[in-house]
Amino acid sequence: MSEKPITGEKRVFMTGNEVVAWACLAAGADIMYGYPITPQNEIMHYWTRQIPKYGRKFLQTEDELSAGFTTVGGVLAGLKAFTATAGPGNTLMQEPMSMAEMMRLPVVTIVQQRGGPSTATVIYSQQEVTMTTQGGNGEGIRIVYSPSNHQELFDYTLKAFNTAWKYRFPTFVLGDGYQAKLRESVTLYDPEERGYVRVPSEKYVGKPGTPGVDREPGHYRNTYNTEEELFEVLQQHITDYEKMAPEVIEYAQDNVEDADLVIVAHGVVFRGVRDAVKELREEGYKVGFFRPITLRPFPAEQLKVIANKTKKLLIAESAQGQLAKLVKDAIYGATAEIVPLFRPGVGITTEQIVARAKEVL
């Protein structure tokens, strides 16, 4: 039962959803609660096929409200619990995730974005950025990773469990339908062999002893009687969040030093941007890229430095300015002009990025 899911290193060719399932196994996730929605279904399929060998659990619930809230329950009971969803499922998931924010529950959610609004397409988009980073009523006290290839899906899913349990904020891995369904090469590895130290989980309810006799009862609530009471709790959460942010923020940048134009993109669109920058540089254009890996907390300071040096920021995203909003907020007051390349619900090719860059340079 306690056999390791992955020993050593394995070079494999598989879909993103399969990679996620393996990452959750490797991370030591104990239980998945889920509800079917394309394009994340195969995470559940692969998980349920593998778990009898490793003594892990699964529950298929009646909807995403329930999937999210049972995941919350799993975490309260002290298990590394996770769920996966997309699109309208992500919409429903925001209710349990706002409870996770309020109670500081390290729930891990994999989102494989699909088209929106509403049911839209089952395939692909980057339109769940605003919802995943800011969803729910409240302040968006959560962590969101945006991987751009299968290796990162594996790495950041692993990391998500540790970040969540270390800092106790709900944590999301924001993939998309292309990453979910595409097959590509990836190295799966035993995380411990690479020095990954599992942050232990801890029970919120059901700790040893009798509450009120040999320990205090755990009383968790999300309703407060007075504004001041809530304010105080939130001040603490926000202080913790701000303290955590520099430790968690991740980004990548290249060729920004002398750039007249810096292209900003995240997730799968970044792949096209990376190639576009290479091509443009070869042709002699002064172009670089900036890629936020954590969309929340956002690498604001790092991008602002660039936005004060370069002439223009070209924001490429498969949405109508959801990343752009994060960028504008982050660089407020900086001198760079923002130029959009927004294609909501469809992919963006290297050629399109190159063409747009030349147009605005």
Amino acid at 3: E
Q: How far is the CB of 185 from another protein (least distance, A)?
A: 35
Q: In the structure encoding, which two tokens stand for residue 189, read together?
A: 């590895």
Q: In the structure encoding, which two tokens stand for residue 123, read together?
A: 């395939």
With respect to another protein, which residue has the nearer C-beta, 214 or 282?
Answer: 214
How far is the C-alpha of 300 from the C-alpha of 249, rounded, in Å?
9
Q: In which element (H, E) is residue 183 found?
A: strand 183-189
Pairing of strands 171-176, 108-113: parallel
Q: How far is the CB of 201 from another protein (least distance, A)?
A: 10
Q: How far is the CB of 180 from another protein (least distance, A)?
A: 25
Q: Are 32 and 165 a contacting pair, CB within 8 Å? A: no
Q: Which of 55, 117, 200, 217 binds another protein (CB under 8 A)?
A: 217
Q: Which of residues 59-98 bind another protein (CB under 8 A)?
A: 59, 61-63, 65-66, 69-74, 76-79, 81, 95-96
Q: Are 280 and 287 a contacting pair, CB within 8 Å? A: yes
With respect to another protein, which residue has the nearer C-beta, 31 or 262?
Answer: 31
Q: Are 139 and 211 a contacting pair, CB within 8 Å? A: no
With respect to another protein, which residue has the nearer C-beta, 220 or 251?
Answer: 220
Q: How far is the CB of 33 from another protein (least distance, A)?
A: 6
With respect to another protein, which residue has the nearer C-beta, 185 or 222?
Answer: 222
With respect to another protein, which residue has the nearer C-beta, 63 or 337?
Answer: 63
Q: Residue 206 interacts with another protein (CB under 8 A)?
A: yes
Return the closest-CA partner of residue 238 out of 101, 355, 352. Answer: 101
Q: Residue 278 interacts with another protein (CB under 8 A)?
A: no
Q: How far is the CB of 164 from another protein (least distance, A)?
A: 16
Q: Is 285 helix (H, G, I), strand (E, B) or coil?
A: coil
Q: How far is the CB of 216 from another protein (least distance, A)?
A: 9
With respect to another protein, which residue has the nearer C-beta, 197 or 213?
Answer: 213
Amino acid at 53: K
Q: How far is the CB of 30 from another protein (least distance, A)?
A: 7
Q: Are 322 and 127 a contacting pair, CB within 8 Å? A: yes
Q: Which of 187, 222, 235, 335 binds another protein (CB under 8 A)?
A: 222
How far is the C-alpha of 41 from the C-alpha of 84, rounded, in Å?
8
With respect to another protein, which residue has the nearer C-beta, 69 or 169?
Answer: 69
Half-sphere exposure of 48 (CA within 13 A, CB side): 13
Q: Are 33 and 166 a contacting pair, CB within 8 Å? A: no
340 DSSP β-pair partners:
315
How far is the C-alpha of 245 from the C-alpha of 266, rounded, in Å?
18
Q: Are 83 and 111 a contacting pair, CB within 8 Å? A: no
Q: How far is the CB of 81 from another protein (least distance, A)?
A: 7
Q: Residue 36 interacts with another protein (CB under 8 A)?
A: no
Amino acid at 358: K
Amino acid at 42: E
With respect to another protein, which residue has the nearer C-beta, 39 or 73?
Answer: 73
With respect to another protein, which residue has the nearer C-beta, 98 or 149?
Answer: 98
| Among the residue ranges 48-56, 189-197, 199-207, 285-293, the one whose residues contact another protein (CB under 8 A) | 199-207
| Region for 345 from its dihedrals, namely left if φ exceeds 0, alpha if ψ lies in -120 to 50, beta otherwise | left
Q: How far is the CB of 183 from another protein (least distance, A)?
A: 32
Q: What is the total count of residues that contact another protein (CB under 8 A)?
A: 41
User: Which chain residues interact with another protein by CB under 8 A?
Assistant: 30-31, 33, 57, 59, 61-63, 65-66, 69-74, 76-79, 81, 95-96, 99, 203-207, 209-213, 217-223
